Amino acid sequence: MNSDLGVSKTSLTQFKNATTTTTTSSLAKNEKKLKTTIGWTLENIVKIYNAIEGNTRPIQLTSKRYSFHKFAKVSFELCIEISNKANYFAIWLRQLGPNSFNENVNTKYRIYADKDGKIVEISRSTYNFENQERLGYSLVLIEELLRSNGKLCLHCEIGIDCYNPIENLKNKYRKMFKNEEFTDCVIKIGDEIIKTHRNILAQNSEVFHKMFEQNGMNESQTVHF
């Protein structure tokens, strides 16, 4: 945090030391959906609010950055913007990656506060695309979120689809091979018979490509080895 914001270095150091971030994560059974919950506790949020009384610009605080171990291209952080001109805060989730910044995404999330054991929902995702820089951007009254001891305890549940196009393509080919439906080529190796698709053989083997091209195999045929 820059000193020109009007907040003393001592206040910011105390605030930084008094904030904690916790995360829990899980991988769905199909290994395609990743889920995690970020927890962020801020102990001296009111002191920071009072310390910026002379500021002309709001200040922004962010939690520790979290990324999935199995999908490190994407990371998340909770953000709070404090302004001395109003008694409300702006709270949102920021997504970094996987491709670039400032894109529209449809990440699933739910941001809420734990107020003395009571869940106060701040925002949640819809089916609409949102700017990844400000997911769930909301203005909230700080009094509605603070615990009786003055702490602000934020949580965010996050879910993303971990899509692997290469693995997905392999699975499709594997199913086609096992299913044997709509095959148009039979390969005989001795007594063994393998049903397959000419297009796949031709695209993955120069030998088969030349064989089909030279023989003019337009109909279903059997190849003997």
Judgement on whether residues 48 and 137 belong to the same structural domain of the protein? yes
Domain with 83, as residue range(s), is 3-161
Kindly state the greatest CA–CA separation across the chain: 88
Judgement on whether residues 136 and 170 belong to the same structural domain of the protein? no
Query: What pLDDT shows up at residue 9?
Result: 40
pLDDT tens-place values along the chain, 225 residues long: 333 333 334 444 444 445 565 655 554 444 567 888 999 999 888 888 777 766 778 889 999 998 877 777 788 999 999 886 677 889 999 998 877 667 788 889 999 999 999 999 999 998 888 999 999 999 999 889 999 998 999 999 998 876 655 666 677 777 777 777 777 788 888 888 888 878 778 888 888 878 777 766 555 555 555
Judgement on whether residues 19 and 125 belong to the same structural domain of the protein? yes
- Split into its structural domains, the chain has a count of 2
What is the rounded CA–CA span in Å between residue 30 and residue 34?
10
Query: What pLDDT shows up at residue 115?
Result: 94
Q: Tell me the whole-structure pTM to 2 decimals.
A: 0.60
Query: What pLDDT shows up at residue 222?
Result: 57
**Domain boundary pick from 133, 161, 189:** 161
Judgement on whether residues 128 and 199 belong to the same structural domain of the protein? no
Q: Which residue has the tokens 């959906």?
A: 33
CATH of residue 26: 2.60.210.10
Judgement on whether residues 108 and 209 belong to the same structural domain of the protein? no
CATH of residue 213: 3.30.710.10
Query: What pLDDT shows up at residue 208?
Result: 80
CB 102 within 8 A of CB 134: no
Judgement on whether residues 37 and 132 belong to the same structural domain of the protein? yes
For 134-170, b/e burial (b = at least 16 CB within 10 A) is ebbbeebebeebbbeeebbbbbbbbebebeeeeeeee
CB 180 within 8 A of CB 216: no
Judgement on whether residues 97 and 205 belong to the same structural domain of the protein? no
